[in-house]
Amino acid sequence: MKKTTSDRFSILIYSFIIIWVFLASFPFLWTFWGSFKVELDFFSISDWYNAVTGKNTFDTYNSQFTGAGYEGAWVQEEFWRSFVNSAIVCFFVVLTSLTIGTLGAYALSRSNYKYTFWLLITALIFRAMPPITLVAGYLPPFFEWNIWGILPTTIIVLVSINQPFTLWMLHSFFQNIPKELDESAKVDGCSQFQAFRHVIIPVMWPGVVTTGLFSFLLAYNDFAVTAMLLSDENRTMIPKIAAFLGTTYTEGNVMFAVAAVVSATVPLFILVMFFQKKIVSGLTQGAVKG
């Protein structure tokens, strides 16, 4: 009797998870499938079923699949340039964010003065500022100092805008690392920085990886900042994809955008697969609080 209820229970859980996985991945799988079709099939007005069978794709290319979107995006529109720019931006954003973020968050978690609380709260309020307003405010000085349009400016802005989130997340990780660890290191004659560098960071590694992944995602998916602060030869992937979409006066090439989106997801796939265990174990560290 007991066994059947638990069996039923696990059937329930499995079906729940299957439904969720389906809901979560369906739009992406649909996009992936559709990226090998022509626009009239993927965004089919006559019959959505065309997106599955590729009726018009077959009429045009004599095959149900076409790489035209990919060819257009990568060869004709040189999407790889944006790919390289994105790689540079993401790499430096993650690196800088984590460096200054761990230092700050460590200090905040190791100090018990009142001002640490207020600093954290201020950081949180800073995060409330809509990024579009911030970006509009950056434009005049950036042009004045002639630093508009280049990658380093964008990197610094992205790091700064995301610092509140990074600080909060890392702070919660540091709180769970026993203070005795750095105390004992200091007894052994280490300075605070040495204790941080040689004792705390190795223990914190999973937490840093997780926070890094979130910073990466923020930089990778950013549109508001990159669209406004980068000149067109320096564009990262997301504004480049937006540029494929066209404007009021002109037709865009939506299938280029769709193909580009699918290709832009590939490195993320690899990254998530690679860091999957780390993400979870990283957060595990942060969670040991209660």
Q: Burial code of 192-225, b = ≥16 C-beta within 10 A, e = fewer?
A: eeebbeebbeeebebbbbbbbbbbbebbbebebb
Nearest approach, Cβ of 243 to another protein (angstroms)?
Answer: 6
Q: Which of 7, 16, 183, 197 binds another protein (CB under 8 A)?
A: 16
Contacting another protein (CB under 8 A), which of 1, 4, 23, 178? 23
Rule CB under 8 A: say whether 287 interacts with another protein: yes
Closest C-alpha to 285, from 210, 190, 184, 188: 210
Q: Three-state DSSP class for 70? A: helix
Using CB atoms within 10 A of its CB, is residue 188 exposed (0-12), middle (13-18) or buried (19+)?
exposed
Compute the least distance from the CB of residue 132 to another protein, in Å: 6
CA distance linking residue 147 with residue 154, whole number of Å: 10
Out of 7, 59, 183, 188, the only residue in the binding site for another protein (CB under 8 A) is 59
Can residue 184 be called a binding residue for another protein (CB under 8 A)?
A: no
Q: Which stretch binds another protein (CB under 8 A): 70-78, 81-89, 112-120, 197-205?
A: 112-120
CB 103 within 8 A of CB 130: no
Mention every residue, 6+ apart, whose C-beta is less than 8 A from residue 9: none
Q: Is 11 in the site for another protein (CB under 8 A)?
A: no
Count of residues that bind another protein according to CB under 8 A: 129
Site string for another protein, 192-231 (x = CB under 8 A): xx--x-------------x------x---x-x---xx--x
- What mask of x and - would describe binding to another protein in positions 129 to 168, judged by CB under 8 A? xx-xxx-xxxxx-xxx-x-xx------xx-xxx-xxx-xx
Instruction: Please return the burial class of 125, using the count of CB atoms within 10 Å of its CB with bins 0-12, 13-18 and 19+.
Output: exposed
Which residue, 80 or 193, has its beta carbon nearer to another protein?
A: 193
Q: Does residue 273 bind another protein (CB under 8 A)?
A: yes
Q: How far is the CB of 5 from another protein (least distance, A)?
A: 10
- Return the residues of window 71-110 that contact another protein according to CB under 8 A: 99-101, 103-108, 110
The dihedral built from the CA positions of residue 81, 40, 25 and 218, taken in this order, carries a sign that is: positive
